[in-house]
Structure 1
């Protein structure tokens, strides 16, 4: 195991800070790869334990600790389910059928991917009331329930995207990658082949103690990371790296403008590129 210190500015920027300038010129470009919605053949998400368990502190019964309440909610969530979280992730990586944000927006009546992002972040209560969209969140939940779609999850690499992330690092000739958490508190240099495991990365033994949330080329020229409350994977690189492998050919998403922030749903729309479905 490596005890390397994280290079400076490899953690995510604050939400009101432009992404590319935050990294101090380390990267030439940044791509926002949207976490896809997905279906599993013959599986109803309503019968599965998956996604974020959301609750407010004021919902905790008087006299009960937050931890005890959380444990009780988790236990109830796993009662009589068809698939638990790990089984859903395994099935998603093996046979998940993705629906792009562009298709979902058109079918569910959202103006664009910014509106979808706002609805998703409202759903997990990650936005202040002044910025939230409760109606959009309710409409999104209803559409996904009707279409039997799993919502993407925030803050973790998505099983449906892992094979293509592995392909991205392979196309760039990275023989080894630095796998770590989002804070740089734990990271390990591993052969790139670990990214090609058929299991979801968080189920591969001997990965970092915390969920893997950052992949970095050893020379620092390519990075993929996820932020705690974000429904996308941020891919940053030098012009040379992106000349070798174009993330826009692998993922639905958009290229960041110089002023793009993590809370890009409040900014001017950037056009989507990449696969659709």
Structure 2
């Protein structure tokens, strides 16, 4: 493997509102919205998936199966993955009242309860995929740049430090490839992670369910254009 170019403390704040590509264009040519999966646990009881007893990453990786949004949309009869996002955001009170869809939220909740599914977490990398995502980000290195959501405290951390038995130092993190050409981030109130870089560098991440950002893709991607500032 070739030697990885290391840059000093990359700087880019992940979009918090508005058009995604517009806010990233000075540093990144493209971006991919990576949808956090639902989980289907096998041995772990659903009662464990509460804030007080939530399984750690190693338990989730060992026991749970990821379930994609498209299959949940098809099974529930919801129109599409945008409806899934609106349902999740309604459940978590992340939208203005006039944008909520209580019918979607109820339909999704009933399906998850009836079929033993755990809804995605928001604001953090999906535990079941974190190790895989960071390996892709690191490339042929054993470290990635890590910073918090505000662009502060950027530091180089080893993958071992961020492995299954360790927690990231901050919530809502931003990670960068060693050369600073890829950024992996989360939005504190959303159910996806954002990968930004060149189209070529993003390609390996498309094995995870999601979609490429278009010029009109907003942080609140599932809402109609006139209401996307919710």
Any stretches of 5+ residues in structure 1 without a counterpart? 52-77, 79-83, 269-277
Structure label with greater radius of gyration: 1
Please give the per-residue CA displacement for 1:146-198, whole angstroms capped at 9, x wherever unaligned. 1111111100111111132023124x334431112211232321234444x23
Question: CA 1:218 to 1:148, structure 2 compared with 1: closer, same or farther past 3 Å?
Answer: same
Question: CA 1:110 to 1:186, structure 2 compared with 1: closer, same or farther past 3 Å?
Answer: same
Q: Which residue of 1 aligns with 2:5?
A: none
- The question of 1:159 aligning with 2:127 is answered yes
Q: 1:11 aligns with which of 10, 13, 18?
A: 13
Q: Which residue of 2 aligns with 1:223?
A: 183
Any stretches of 5+ residues in structure 2 without a counterpart? 1-7, 226-230
TM-score (norm 1): 0.72
C-alpha separation in 1, matches of 2:213 and 2:100: 23
Deviation of the 1:88 alpha carbon: 5.0
- The question of 1:137 aligning with 2:124 is answered no
Higher relative helix content: 1
Q: CA-atom RMSD, angstroms?
A: 2.2
Q: Which residue of 2 aligns with 1:248?
A: 206
The answer to whether the 8 Å contact 1:31/1:236 transfers is: yes
- The question of 1:98 aligning with 2:56 is answered no
C-alpha separation in 2, matches of 1:174 and 1:264: 33
C-alpha separation in 1, matches of 2:25 and 2:82: 26
Q: How many residues align?
A: 218
**Which SS does the other structure have where 1:144 is aligned?**
helix
Structure with more contact order per residue of length (Cα contacts < 8 Å, sep ≥ 6):
2
4+ residue segments displaced more than 4 Å: none
TM-score (norm 2): 0.86
**Which SS does the other structure have where 1:160 is aligned?**
coil
